[in-house]
Amino acid sequence: MSTATPHTGFGSIPSPEAEDTGMRSGSDGVLLFCVIALMVFGCLAVYSSIAYFAENRGETAGAFLFKHGFKLSLAFITMFVAAKVNYRIVAEWSKVVLIVSWVLLIWVSYNGVEVHGAKRSLSLAGVAFQPSSVAMVALLMYLCHMMFQKRTYIEDFGKSFFPALFWICGTALFVGLEDFSSAALILLLSFIMMFVGRMSVKHLGLLVLSGALLGGLLVSQTQERQSRLNNYVNQVLNIQSSQLVGNPGGYQAQQAHIAIARGGLLGVGVGKSTQRDFLPAPYNDFIYAIIAEEYGLLGAFALLLIYVVILIRGVIFIANRARDDLGAYMAMACTITIVVYGLVNAAVATGLFPVTGLPMPFISYGGTSMLTAGFMMGVLMNISKHRREEHEDA
Amino acid sequence: MKSDRNVLAARLLLVFGALLILPAAILVQMLRIQFAEGDALRELGNLQSTHQIAIPAQRGNIYDINGRLLVTNTVSYSVAVDPLVTNPQPNETERIAAILEYFTGRSRAEFLRTIRQAPQGSRYIVLGRDFDRAVFDSLRAHRFRGIILEERFRRHFNHDNMASHVLGYVNHESSGMDGLERAYNDLLRGRDGQQHVRLDSQRRIRQYVGAPSRRPQQGHSLITTIDAHIQAIAEEELQAGLRRTGARQGTVIIVRPENGQVVAMANYPDFNPNRPGTIGRETRRNAAISDMIEPGSTFKLVTAVAAFEQGAVQLDEVFNTPESGTRLIRGQLMRDHIPLGDITFRQAIERSSNIATAEAAMRLDRDVFFQYVRNFGFGALSSIDLPGEESGRLRRPLHWSGVTQPWMSIGYEVQVTALQMVMSYAAIANDGRLMRPYVVDHVVDESGRVVQQNRPTVIRQAVRPETVRALQPAFQNVVSEDGTARLASVAGLSIAGKTGTAQKFIDGRYQQRYRASFVGYFPAEAPKYAMIVLLDEPQTSIFGGTTAGIVFREITRRIMGVDHNVRNLVQRDLRDIYERRTPQLTGLQADNAGNLAASLGFRLVVQGEGTRVSEQQPAAGQPLAAGEPIRITLNNAARTEITEGARPLVPDVTGLSMREAFAVLREAGYEIQQTGSGTVAAQFPQAGAVMQRGRAVSIRGRAPGMDVLISDRGGG
């Protein structure tokens, strides 16, 4: 039996009223458990690692923990609200939000608040707000929506591939003005979504090829880029443990390694990290290293496991069993965004990736990333409510 | 549709599988970090985050022989600001400046200017190094972000200039630069403790780790042989002597002949070791041990001892000195200060005849004479435990010219230090045994355990005791009516000594500039003190007896008031000429004044109403004829000198009876440390010194009336 979703025609999405035909079930309890577990982990790690930063700002760690808790509850509320809103409505509004976020991105790069030499956020009623993460969510949602609309001619280059590429490259460009690593991640996630959205493998292969060519061209052009690439490869392969490294990237990776090494199997104990004084932004970029130090290999593995559980839940149980392709796409987009962010942060802390400054969803101290993660988790939960009745494809 | 669905499922699974590579890679990488590189990384982590800092040890104290604290440490607080600190409090620098203004009285604009004028980007701007505890506490309570407060031990010399040349001074790192501070630096310094601390990436201290890995070993304390009372007396009288004679500079050394302990060593001009940088190097030098001088007549002691002990002269052998008072000796003209005619050798000593002394010296073999000079310690270091000592200049007989021996016999062509000179007289006072002088009696550690005890050391028997006994009357007579130093005599006390007047040898010739000295010891029968007084270029008179001799006398008679042993040797009964003196009543409460007067047998005539005595007639210490009443005026106001708060001054109680002194000092708020009885002969600190209330003033008594006796002589 084919899906029961009635389609009103091309370019439109199933109306919300039609949903009673699908099977309704409760939100995913496992996901909720994972989110709460991550948040508890995050509270402990942030409280421990922010003390030094707080002291330098003349405030107490308690005050920052309170702020963190406030953001967590906002994210929680966002998650529940998003879980109540039908994902089709989200898809419908995504194009508007994406265009607004483009405008915001351009505006921010001229009038934003400068943090670490880059203008990434604007102050909204006293709360720092980063349009780039909103743009990313909106892009991914809109991509899902578009691919679902064009699903009958999805392999067409001019009608499907090119428009998708336009929105992706446009967003990546505007985000990349101030935040290169976020833009790179947007490209990566969009590429995965294009693959998931059944676009032509030929076209995607062409994209990878041209990307590789462009990259190779850029690297080969200057000596500096070559040596930076070499440095990075060396850094991943050899952990410089005998002496302190001079260049900032290497230094930070090395400090993260020291944190992991100090942690051992069971960790040095809650709140006993010493590397938090040496790592930059230990409450954000390098929070995984702090967790590895305080809770050891076991704690760090448990954290990875939570993300893997989210991945399994999101891909196998939700996307794969979604009522329609739109649900599957969106479930996939939400899942990989949260998981890839989490894993990339861990990969940076362990020295696999170069230092990026990306937050760990539900763990790191940070406002906008927390809200977008909560929103995506909410969308994922909403999709999980609408399952297909039969499981013959599973 | 169905195939679409399958394609989607396949692609989902592909992505799922691809994404699982990432956690697997992270896992492998973490295991690799943990087990392959773990040890090296952990060691690097410890290396960068732990550090050892020093816990400063406190430098030891220096005490006088009676346990009075001469040098100690105070804590000073330095305040610096870091204007570039992140997130300062609002108006932080202005508020810091305001607090400093409140406590120091210096204007806040001054502090702000210091901050403004600091080099661009500096993050450590010192606003001051010598603040009080109150400033420190206040600033710390405000929890300013950009303030750097530091606590430091600072060396504190309790009595400023007193004994400055002996005590020495320290540099900014509290390392001894001169005097005892330098000689005993290693013992005083102690050993810093160690503490493990955890650092952050800026290498600032984050926290202390555990207990100190090594506790600081506090510096040892010195108990010196200096007697603060006598040192103060010597300095006062030396200064008075310099003022009286117009001399450029002067030196006094007092030692104990029986063991070589230095009781007092004073040079003037002196300096304040709390601020050594404010005065030139020349003034900080301890002239008593580092200035080489030609001694002049005081050196005749050596000649007399050598000639007598070798049997070259008899005491009553007559020397014919020419009528003119001058004689050519080996082609050079030698002269006596006055023509002396025919005199015995004993008289030659008493009246300081150059010609007779030189003749006696020339009867000796030059090597024998040289040996005597060496035996008295000349030309060699005395090995006193102070830095910067000179050995003087004594040429070997091989290099002597024909006139060296006669001129050396009267104290020329030889250079000595004041310390060598006084030690040679101390040797005579000590039955001919030359002692090593020393300033530190013993060294104690933190808990009072003695870690080093300096014992008296006999360098050698310089002369035979019989020689000393035979010659002593002659030296004693110098101070009698006949001798050159009768002004140095103190009634009732037998002093043995010798005057000296040496022409200064500058730029290759002897100038009409002189150095006057007096060296002696007392009481002559059982010597307790040997002393040298040296005045450089006195203007009033060139003769040692009338300049240095008077300083010697003044110091001696004040020491008599302080030292019972000396006083008890004064045999004469002094009570006959005892005269009553008015007690100090001003400042006392009316009742107390009445009781005091009644107990001393005085009658009071009271004027005015009130609770306190504001005036008295005659003044305290003035003599009062028998039966005369003391007139006192009462009022209610407390005496301003006593109540006026900030700088309490020690009142003058010398000359008062013990009972009166007690009343006055109690009234002024001081504790009392009493030695002896009778009238107060000396007090410490001196009158007018600033001292906190509640501390002890030590007073020493002596038998009543002695000052009456000694003040009727003198006339210097």
- Per-residue pLDDT, averaged over B366-388, amounts to 93
Mean pLDDT, to the nearest integer, of B45-71? 86
Backbone angles phi, psi at A392, to 5 degrees: -70, -20
- pLDDT > 50? residue B361: yes
Among A2, A151, A154, A258, pick the best mutation site for testing chain B contact (most B Cβ within 10 A): A258
Percentage of chain B lying above the pLDDT 90 cut: 32
The Cα of B96 is separated from the nearest Cα of chain A by a number of Å equal to: 17
What is the band of B630 on the pLDDT scale with cuts at 50, 70, 90? confident
Say which of A151, A336, A346 has its CB closest to residue B15.
A336
Question: Which residues from chain B sit within 8 angstroms of residue A275, using beta carbons?
Answer: 45
Contact check, Cβ <8 Å, B25/A347: yes
Residues A320, A324, A327: CA angle, nearest 5 degrees: 70
* Residue type for position A210: S
Q: Where in chain B is the domain with CATH 3.90.1310.10?
A: 53-221
Whether residue B2 has pLDDT greater than 60: no
CATH says B228-274+289-574 is which class?
alpha beta
Considering only CA atoms, which of B44, B21, B25 is closest in space to residue A351?
B25
The whole-angstrom distance between A197's CA and the closest CA on chain B is 7
Residue B399, beta-bridge partner list? none
Which residue of chain B has the CA closest to A344?
A: B22
Mean pLDDT of A82-88: 89
Which chain B residues are Cβ-neighbours of A58 within 8 angstroms? Answer: 86-89, 145
Average pLDDT on B382-393 reads 92
What confidence score (pLDDT) does residue B613 get?
A: 78
Asked if residue A17 has pLDDT above 50, the reply is no
pLDDT at B579: 45
**Cβ B45–A261 below 8 Å, yes or no?**
yes
Query: Quick check: B41 and A262 CB within 8 A?
Result: yes
**Binary contact (B42, A346; C-beta < 8 A):** no
Q: Which residues of A touch B34 (CB under 8 A)?
A: 260-261, 263-265, 297
Q: Is the bond into B269 cis (omega within 30 degrees of 0)?
A: yes
Residue that has been written with the tokens 């041990």 in this structure: B289
**Is a pLDDT exceeding 80 seen at residue A313?**
yes
Residue B715 clears pLDDT 70, i.e. is over it: no
Residue B481's pLDDT band (cuts 50, 70, 90): low
Judged by average pLDDT, the poorest of A29-33, B133-137, B586-590 is B586-590
Mean pLDDT of A344-355: 86
Q: CA nearest B35 in A: which residue? A: A261
Q: Which residues of B touch A152 (CB under 8 A)?
A: none
Could you tell me the pLDDT band of residue A45, with boundaries at 50, 70 and 90? confident
Q: Is the pLDDT of residue A378 over 50?
A: yes
Interface test with B, best of A57, A340, A350 (most B CBs within 10 A): A350
Find chain A residues with C-beta within 8 A of B5's C-beta: 393
Query: Which residues in chain A are contacts of B14 at CB distance < 8 A?
Result: 195
CA B365 to mean position of chain CA atoms: 43
Say yes or no to pLDDT of A19 above 60.
no
User: Which of A242, A264, A277 is nearest residue B40 as measured by Cβ atoms?
Assistant: A242
Residues in chain A within 8 Å Cβ distance of B29: 347, 350-352
Mean pLDDT of B95-119: 85
Of B30, B49, B88, the CB nearest to A300: B30
pLDDT of residue A240: 56
Q: Which CATH class is domain B580-703?
A: alpha beta
Q: How far is A56 from chain B (nearest CA, A)?
A: 7
**pLDDT mean over A22-36:** 74
What pLDDT, on the 0 to 100 scale, is given for residue A392?
A: 45
| CA distance to partner chain B, nearest, from residue A262 (Å) | 6
- From the list B706, B708, B709, B652, the residue with the least C-alpha distance to B684 is B652
Task: Decide if A307 and B42 are in contact by the 8 Å CB cutoff.
Answer: no
Residues in chain B closer than 8 A to A241 (CB atoms): 37, 40-41, 44
Task: Kindly indicate the confidence band of residue A53, based on its pLDDT and cuts at 50, 70 and 90.
Answer: confident
Q: Read off the pLDDT of residues A110-162 as tens digits, 9 standing for 90 and up.
A: 776 665 555 666 666 556 678 888 899 999 999 999 989 888 888 888 888 88
Of B145-149, B397-401, B571-575, give the lowest mean pLDDT range.
Answer: B571-575
Which of the four pLDDT bands, split at 50, 70 and 90, describes residue B224?
Answer: very high
Distance CA B456, CA B437 (A): 8
User: Does the residue A73 lie in any domain?
Assistant: yes
How many angstroms separate the CA of residue A313 from the nearest CA in chain B? 11
Q: What six digits make up the tokens of A139?
A: 């892009």
User: Which DSSP symbol is given to B574?
Assistant: -
User: Could you tell me the CA-to-CA distances from B308 to B41, B348, B608 in Å, in that order?
Assistant: 86, 13, 73
- At A25 the pLDDT is 54
* pLDDT, averaged across chain B: 82
Query: Residue A16: inside a domain, yes or no?
Result: no
User: pLDDT tens digits, residue range B328-354?
Assistant: 888 788 888 788 888 888 888 888 888
Least confident of A280-284, B84-88, B396-400: B84-88
Chain A: closest CA distance from residue B40 (Å): 6
Nearest to A343 among B7, B26, B206 (CB): B26
Instruction: Determine, for residues A347 and B26 on separate chains, whether the beta-carbon distance falls below 8 Å.
Output: yes
Res. B580 pLDDT band, cuts 50 70 90: low
The residue with greater pLDDT, A203 or A248, is A203
For the record, the structure tokens of B324 come out as: 């003119």
State whether B19 and A336 contact (CB < 8 Å): yes
- Band (B707; pLDDT cuts 50, 70, 90): very low
- For residue A210, pLDDT beyond 50: yes
| Residue numbers of the domain that contains A159 | 24-387
Residue B154 burial by CB count (10 A; 0-12/13-18/19+): exposed, middle or buried? middle
In chain B, which residues have their Cβ closer than 8 Å to the Cβ of A265? 34
User: Which of B2, B37, B88 comes nearest A241 by C-beta?
Assistant: B37
Instruction: Round to whole Å and give the CA distance between A255 and A260.
Output: 9
**Chain A CB contacts of B51 below 8 Å:** none
**CATH superfamily, domain at B53-221:** Penicillin-binding protein 2a (Domain 2) (3.90.1310.10)
Identify the band that residue A18 occupies on the pLDDT scale cut at 50, 70 and 90. Answer: very low
Q: What are the DSSP calls for B291-335, one per residue?
A: --B--GGGGHHHHHHHHHHTTS--TT-EEE--TTSEEEETTEEEE
Residue with tokens 């001074």: B169
* Whole-angstrom distance, CA of residue A388 vs CA of residue B646: 93
The minimum CA-CA distance between A100 and chain B, rounded to whole Å, is: 30
Instruction: State the pLDDT at residue A2.
Output: 41
Number of domains making up chain A: 1
How does residue B474 score in pLDDT terms, banded at 50, 70 and 90? Answer: confident
pLDDT reading at A1 higher than 60 = no
Among the partner-chain residues B7, B27, B42, the one whose CB lies closest to the CB of A198 is B7
Nearest to A195 among B15, B25, B27 (CB): B15
* A109 occurs within a structural domain: yes
Confidence check: pLDDT of B86 > 90: no
Q: Are B99 and B135 in contact (CB under 8 A)?
A: yes
**Cβ count within 10 A of residue A236:** 17
pLDDT recorded at residue B63: 94
B532, pLDDT greater than 90:
yes
Contact, B581 vs B655, CB < 8 A? yes
Residue A289 counted as domain residue: yes
Chain A nearest-CA residue for B206 = A277
**Is residue A15 in some structural domain?**
no
Q: How confident is the model at residue A189 (pLDDT cuts 50, 70, 90)?
A: very high
Q: Which residue in the set A57, A319, A343 is minimally distant from B87, CB to CB?
A: A57
pLDDT above 90 for B70: yes
Ordered DSSP codes for B99-166: HHHHHH-S-HHHHHHHHHTSPTT-S-EEEEEEE-HHHHHHHHHTT-SSEEEEEEEEEEETTTTTTHHH
Higher local confidence (pLDDT), B163 or B688 = B163
Phi, psi of B477 (to 5 degrees): -70, -15
Q: How confident is the model at residue A10 (pLDDT cuts 50, 70, 90)?
A: very low
DSSP label of B261: B
Q: Which of A137, A31, A22, A37 is nearest to A90 (CA)?
A: A137
CB atoms within 10 A of CB B398: 8
Chain A CB contacts of B49 below 8 Å:
274, 277-278
Domain with CATH 3.40.710.10 in chain B: 228-274+289-574
DSSP secondary structure string for all residues of B622-688: -B--TTPPEEEEEESSPPHHHH--SS-BPPP-TTSBHHHHHHHHHHHT-EEEEES-SEEEEEESPTT
pLDDT band at B85 (very low <50, low <70, confident <90, very high): confident
Within 10 A of B436 (CB to CB), how many other CB atoms are there?
A: 19
Whether residue B200 and residue A52 make contact (CB cut-off 8 A), yes or no, is yes
Q: Is the pLDDT of residue B669 over 90?
A: no
Instruction: Chain A: give the shortest CA distance to residue B19, in Å.
Output: 8
Average pLDDT over residues B311-328: 85
Lowest mean pLDDT among B16-25, B256-265, B668-677: B668-677
Question: What stretch(es) of chain B map to CATH 3.30.10.20?
Answer: 580-703
Look at residue B526 and give its three-state secondary structure: coil
> Of A58, A239, A312, which is closest to B145 when you measure between CB atoms?
A58
Helix, strand, coil tally for chain B in percent (to 5): 35, 25, 40
Which residue of A64, A257, A341 is the best one to mutate when testing the B interface, meaning the one whose CB has the most B CBs within 10 A?
A257
Flag if A198 and B4 touch (Cβ within 8 Å).
yes
Cβ pair A57:B86 closer than 8 A: yes
User: Are A6 and A16 a contacting pair, CB within 8 Å?
Assistant: no
A103 CA to chain B: closest CA distance, Å?
Answer: 32
> Tell me, what's the pLDDT at A113?
64
